[in-house]
């Protein structure tokens, strides 16, 4: 495990993660910090506690995640990454077929 130091809403945290997950974790921290700063800066939230801002951000992220999950249902139960991979495979197959046709 690797320890990384991050700052969210001006508060420092030390987190542990596997080295291969470091970039994803840093991206998640950046997203959370940006969302919390946006909520804090929105009308009426400037004096809210960090805890309340964190809860509001959590609710927003959960809502976004649920929206993505419902959108995935349209992919026959596949996750977005699996769907994207299938599209890339089909594109490669089409490219191969087109190249074969050009040779005729």
More confident residue, 90 or 38: 38
Does the residue 35 lie in any domain? yes
Does the residue 95 lie in any domain? no
Percent of the chain whose pLDDT exceeds 90: 32
Does the residue 99 lie in any domain? no
Q: How many domains does the chain have?
A: 1
pLDDT digits (tens, 9 = 90+) for 67-83: 776 554 555 566 667 77
Flag whether pLDDT at 42 surpasses 90.
no
CA gap 46, 41 in Å, rounded: 6
pLDDT at 78: 63
pLDDT average, residue stretch 49-60? 88
CA gap 57, 54 in Å, rounded: 5
Percent of the chain whose pLDDT exceeds 70: 77
What the block records as the tokens of 103 is 């040779």
CA gap 22, 1 in Å, rounded: 10
pLDDT average, residue stretch 24-33? 92
Cβ 38 vs Cβ 46: under 8 Å? no
pLDDT at 26: 93
Domain ranges, residue 67:
2-74
With vertex at residue 68, the alpha carbon angle to CA 64 and CA 74, rounded to the nearest 5 degrees, is: 155
Does the residue 94 lie in any domain? no
Does the residue 27 lie in any domain? yes
């Amino acid at each position: 495990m690797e320890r990384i130091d991050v700052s969210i809403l001006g508060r420092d945290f030390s987190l542990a993660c596997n080295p291969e997950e470091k970039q994803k974790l840093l991206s998640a921290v950046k997203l959370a910090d940006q969302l919390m700063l946006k909520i804090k800066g929105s009308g009426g939230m400037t004096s809210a506690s960090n805890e309340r801002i964190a809860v509001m951000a959590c609710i927003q992220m959960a809502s976004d995640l649920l929206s993505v999950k419902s959108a995935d249902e349209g992919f026959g139960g596949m996750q977005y990454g699996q769907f994207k991979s299938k599209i890339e495979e089909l594109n490669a197959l089409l490219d191969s077929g087109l190249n074969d046709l050009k040779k005729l």
